[in-house]
Each structure stands twice: as structure tokens, then as C-alpha cells.
Amino acid sequence: MHRRRVGVRTALTAWYLLVLSLVIAAFSAALYWDQEQTLSAQVDRSLAGASGQVLALIDKHVDPITFVEGDAYRHATGHLAQAGYAVLVFDPKRRLLTRFGRALDLPADIGTVDLATIDARVDGVEEPWRVSWQPVVRHDGVTVGYLAVGQSVEAIEQALHGLLLTLAWAAPAALALAGLAGYGLARLAMRPVDRMTQFVRSLGASDLQKRLNDHGPDDELGRLATTLDEMLARLEASFARERRFVADAAHELRTPLAALKSRLDVVRQRERDAEAYRAAIDTIEPEVERLIRLVRDLLLLARLETGSAPWEETPVDLSQLCERIVEQMEPLARERGLSITRDVEPGLLVNGSFDHLLRALINLLDNAIKYAQSPGRILVEGRQADGIIRLRVANDGQALDATVIARVGERFLRSAADRSRETGGVGLGLAIAAEIARHHRGSLSLARKEGGGAVATLNLHAGTVR
């Protein structure tokens, strides 16, 4: 069963509430602990003050302990009793000698600590009390008894309990309000993403010219909108190239197929002898060869673009490869009244596919021969600098169209003057060479040559012998 994923808004709100709940819990615990410590410290200071007053009233010269009677005694005992203190005096054997204030009964083990919080029954009511216990020491250092001063902490316990109840309902209420506010803020923050999603969903193949045109702040969402617009621009350009490719492929295939059909129709019109049939076949054969080359080139391009072309990477000596190709292409160049000059540094090595590099260089030289002005010269030049090998193939002829220079590497790319098909090309040679260069992590560029003509430059990373 497919589990539905939680939305981003819900997830953001949940994480926000989780973090906020931890913060509130930590704050509540810290607040409760601070209040408890503060109130306990106040009680301890109050007990210390009361114990000091009582010790001042004790006659430490006699044994057993007695109080010094007088106005100070009456004022202090009355004040402490009125303030709710319980004062108990014990002899050295911890037997009760006297008391005043609240009637507090102490447990037997009260003298084991200086300060203790106990539950005791006072005036028939069980309450929490804080008790201070300390020895009464005579001037000669002899302990003559013990003093216990207690104060009820019931009010403190109630205050802390009230604080706990307040935190118990306030924290969930704050979380609920924060959750609603957080979800609303998350919805507000994600609204641009929703708009982008709806916009992209509404796009079809014929709507790629549309753009978000979101000129908001340069934040994450603004950069996302800009990236989507850039992606749509690339998709639009890609679809336009594919449409041109389909149209050009249909055009290139239609012409030889139409010629084949017309010649076949002519042959079928009447009976012919064997010699006439052979002559008809001879006229059909060039168009068949042209179709085979076109389909083969298209298949190679498709395989290169999808990465399915056979590829065996080895060290390739471009200097020797250029020499071999020039020797192979020189007869064709001489037929057209052209000469080929080779100026290639020795030892230019790249790591790549020998067969594909051979095909790329043949395409460049063949292209230069096709479009060169006769008589003329073709220059094949190779240099290495900063780890980059640059192979230049230049010819003499007409200046290149700016559109051809800008769109180098596109399929069926030919100048307007070359649409006559006299050269026999279909505009796939440079596309194949550019794709082979890309597979070698290189590039192919075209430029106008001074004085007329064109320069094709193949840039490749220099390799080493392995």
C-alpha cells in the first residue's frame, strides 16, 4: 500500500512545534527551578535571622539553658510567634526544654542535618515545614543544648503548585497558537512554490515560451524561479532544435526518396533491355548511397548523444593521425584545385577513441575542402599550450554566416548559400565532430578567417601515454 508523504507545510510546522516544545519545556523547567531556589533561599535567610535573634536571648553562662528575661525577650518571642515561627530549645541530650510560637512536633532524626524540609503536624494540621537545627555553644566551647527554628513552607508549596498549573495549561496553549501561526506562515512562505507548481503543470509542449518572470528578492525562492525560467529557456531551445531536426531530416530524406520514386516510375513505364536497366540502376545508386550516408550519420549522432556509441579509450597520437588524414584527403583536394599544408607539432597525444577522433578530423577536413574557393589552400595546424591541444583547419573562401558560427554543432546546419546541395553535404559533419569533441571533454568552434574563409578549431585536453 502506497504511503502518502507528509506535505512540506505540515512537516515544517511539525518540526517547528517540536523545537518550540523543547524550548518551552526547558524554559518551564528552568523557571520552576529558579522560583523554587529563590523562595527556598528566602526561607533559609529568614530562618537564619530568626535563629540569630533567639541565640541572642539565650544565657550561655548557665547550664541548663535559660533565656535572659526582659523587654528584648518579650519583643522577640512575640514577634517570632506572630510571624508564624516555631522555636524549640533542647538540652545536650536533645530533650525539649522550652518552646514558643507554633506547636511543632519534630521527628527524632531532625538533628542529623542543619536544614531540612519535613512534613509535620502543627496545630492538628499536616504541613510542610523548613527547620533550622544548630547547637548552642557556651563561651568556653561546650555545647549546652540545641536550637530548632521552623517556618511553614505551605505558602511556597502552593505558589510553586500554582506556577506548575499555569505552565501546564499555558505551554499547550502557546504551542497550539504557535502551531496555527507556524502553519499559516508556512503556507504563506510556500505560496510561491505552489504558484510555480501550478505554472509548470499547466505547461504543454507548445507553451515553453512562457516564463514565471518572478523578480522577487534574491532569496532561495527567487533563485528557484530564476532557475526554472532558465530551464524553460533551455527546453524551448531544445524543442526548437528537435523540431528543426525533424523538419530538416524529413526534407533531406524526401528529396532523394522522391528522386528514386520518379526514376523507378520512369523505368516501369515500358519494357527495357538489360543495358537500359543497368543504366537506370546506375542513376539510382548515388541517391541510395546518399541515403545510406545520411542514415548512418544520424545513427552515429544519436548514439553519441545517448552515450551508446562504441567507445574504446586509448592514447592517440594526433600528429600521426593528422598526417594520415592529410595523405588520405590530398587526392580529393587536388581534384578541386586545392593544396593542403600541414603544420602540426609532433607528439600531440590525447586519451580518447581513435576511430571517433579519426571521424572528427576527416569531417573537418572534408568540410574545409567542400567549401573552399578554388584555387586555394587549406591549412591543418596543431599546437599544444597549457595542457590544451588546438587543431585548426582553415580554408580560403567566402566568409561564414554569423548564424552558422553561433549555431555550430547543430544538425543539418548549412549556410544560406549552401542550400543548393551542389556540395553534396547535409550539414551533419560539424555536428558529429562537435559531439565527438564533447565526449572527449573538449569543444569545437568556428570563426571567420581574415581575408575570407573559415577556421574550425578542435580543442582537446592533452593526454599521456599509459
Q: What is the mean pLDDT of residues 108-117?
A: 67
Tell me the per-residue pLDDT of 16-27, one tens digit each, with 9 for 90 and over.
Answer: 888 888 998 899
Q: Mean pLDDT in the chain? A: 79
CA–CA dist 118, 134 (Å, integer): 16
Predicted structure pTM score: 0.51
**Region label for 101, one of left (φ > 0), alpha (ψ between -120 and 50) or beta (otherwise):** left
Q: Is a pLDDT exceeding 70 seen at residue 251?
A: no
Evaluate whether 220-305 and 310-461 have a shared fold.
Answer: no
3-state secondary structure of 40: helix
Question: What per-residue confidence (pLDDT) applies to 1?
Answer: 47
Question: What per-residue confidence (pLDDT) applies to 48?
Answer: 87
Which residue type sits at 331?
P
Q: Which fold has domain 8-161?
A: Beta-Lactamase (3.30.450)
Q: Is a pLDDT exceeding 50 seen at residue 421?
A: no
Pull the grid cell for residue 234: 533551455
Are 266 and 249 in contact, with CB atoms under 8 Å apart? no
Q: Which of 8, 15, 4 minimizes the C-alpha distance to 221?
A: 8
Of 3.30.460.80, 3.20.20.70, 3.30.565.10, 3.90.1310.10, the CATH number of 310-461 is: 3.30.565.10
Q: What is the mean pLDDT of residues 46-75?
A: 75
Kindly give the pairing relationship between strand 58-59 and strand 66-67. antiparallel
Report CA-CA distances (Å) from 18 to 21, 176, 179, 251: 5, 12, 10, 65
When mean pLDDT is compared across 77-86, 109-118, 150-159, the lowest value belongs to: 109-118
Question: What per-residue confidence (pLDDT) applies to 389?
Answer: 92
Q: Is a pLDDT exceeding 60 seen at residue 278?
A: yes
Question: What per-residue confidence (pLDDT) applies to 406?
Answer: 58
What pLDDT band is residue 215 in, cutting at 50, 70 and 90? low
Tell me the per-residue pLDDT of 297-334, one tens digit each, with 9 for 90 and over.
Answer: 777 777 776 666 777 788 899 999 999 999 988 988 88
Q: Is a pLDDT exceeding 80 seen at residue 161?
A: yes
Question: What per-residue confidence (pLDDT) applies to 382?
Answer: 92
Q: What is the mean pLDDT of residues 450-462?
A: 85
CA–CA dist 411, 440 (Å, integer): 19
Burial of 104 (0-12, 13-18, 19+ CB in 10 A): buried
Tell me the per-residue pLDDT of 119-137, one tens digit each, with 9 for 90 and over.
Answer: 777 767 778 888 888 888 8
φ and ψ at 340, to 5 degrees? -115, 125
Q: Is a pLDDT exceeding 60 seen at residue 219?
A: yes
Strands of 323-429, DSSP E: 338-344, 349-353, 376-385, 388-394
Report CA-CA distances (Å) from 19 to 9, 73, 185: 15, 59, 16
The structural domains of the chain, with segments of one domain joined by +, span 8-161, 220-305, 310-461
Provide the CATH number for the domain formed by 220-305 in this structure.
1.10.287
Kindly give the pairing relationship between strand 338-344 and strand 376-385. parallel
Tell me the per-residue pLDDT of 350-369, one tens digit each, with 9 for 90 and over.
Answer: 988 888 898 889 888 988 88
